[in-house]
Amino acid sequence: MQNVLITGANRGIGFEIARQLLKKGFHVIISGRDEMKLSLAENQLKKEFSSVEMIVMDVSTSESVKAAAKILGARKVELDVIINNAGIMHREDYSLITQNNAVLKTTINTNCYGPVRVIHTFLPLLKIPGRIINVSSGYGSMTDLIDGWAPAYCVSKTMLNSLTRQIAYELLEKNIAVNAVCPGWVRTDMGGKRAPRSVEHGAETPVWLASDAPHELTGKFFRDKSEIKW
């Protein structure tokens, strides 16, 4: 049985990724910063599946990430897949020029430094060959047009894409595949009710990258199981 750690998995795309991987026979470790919400998510998943557990982890702080890794390490847990799904978007995110600089700093801290913290800290627990998946966004693309929507969030996803490429290069010789994925505009709390995609559709490509995608695919950006431009 393969083990997967999913950050930000108490709701939305992260929760659906967990559900779909459980259906595929994975042992799933869901994580999030809110213990109560995480516990509710775990209980909901356990109504259908037994091979799920939770670990409280706030990816925005090194202390929390290290504490979570220490717990899993003490349990002798070995991971096959790490999915960096946790992310934030501020309601006040409307202008890099006029908005409070803290919006950009906190967004990048969670959306960019968070995945780096998780990869750096959990890498000793990742089996070889292994997979790392960073949930990004088409709004991080350098080729698509800019429309001014949530600029700090967009910048953070552009940075995450660049981090994905660099880390993929560093881990190539270790036989660890590292990719970014755009789930599309999905009907979640962040995406809103007007989003055209279901959460099930949004989770399909991360699940594919975690399970069935050819392992030699690394350092790439995917949507709908197809490579897209950075």
Q: Read off the tokens for 118.
A: 């998780």
- Tell me the pLDDT tens digit for each residue of 60-114: 999 999 999 999 999 999 999 999 999 999 999 999 999 989 999 999 999 999 9
CATH number at residue 210: 3.40.50.720
pTM score of the predicted model? 0.95
pLDDT higher than 90, residue 188: no
Burial 40-53 (b: 16+ CB within 10 A, else e): ebbeebeeebeebb
28 touches 103 (CB < 8 A): no
Number of domains within the chain: 1
State which amino acid sits at residue 174: K
**Domain boundaries, position 15:** 3-227
At residue 184, the pLDDT reads 78
Q: Give the integer Cα–Cα distance in Å for 212 and 205.
A: 10
Among candidate residues 29, 26, 36, the one with its CA nearest the CA of residue 9: 29
The residue type found at 191 is: G
- Taking CB atoms within 8 Å and a gap of at least 24, the contacts of 39-43 are 40/10, 41/9, 41/10, 41/11, 41/15
CA–CA distance, 205 with 170 (Å, rounded to integer): 23
Of the pLDDT bands very low, low, confident and very high (cuts 50, 70, 90), residue 145 is confident
Q: Which of 179, 189, 210 is nearest to 88 (CA)?
A: 189
The whole-angstrom separation of Cα 90 and Cα 141 is 19
Chain segment 102-119, per-residue pLDDT in tens:
999 999 999 999 999 999
Annotated catalytic residues are 153
d(Cα 132, Cα 135) in Å, to the nearest integer?
Answer: 10
Contacts of 75 (CB under 8 A, 6+ apart): none
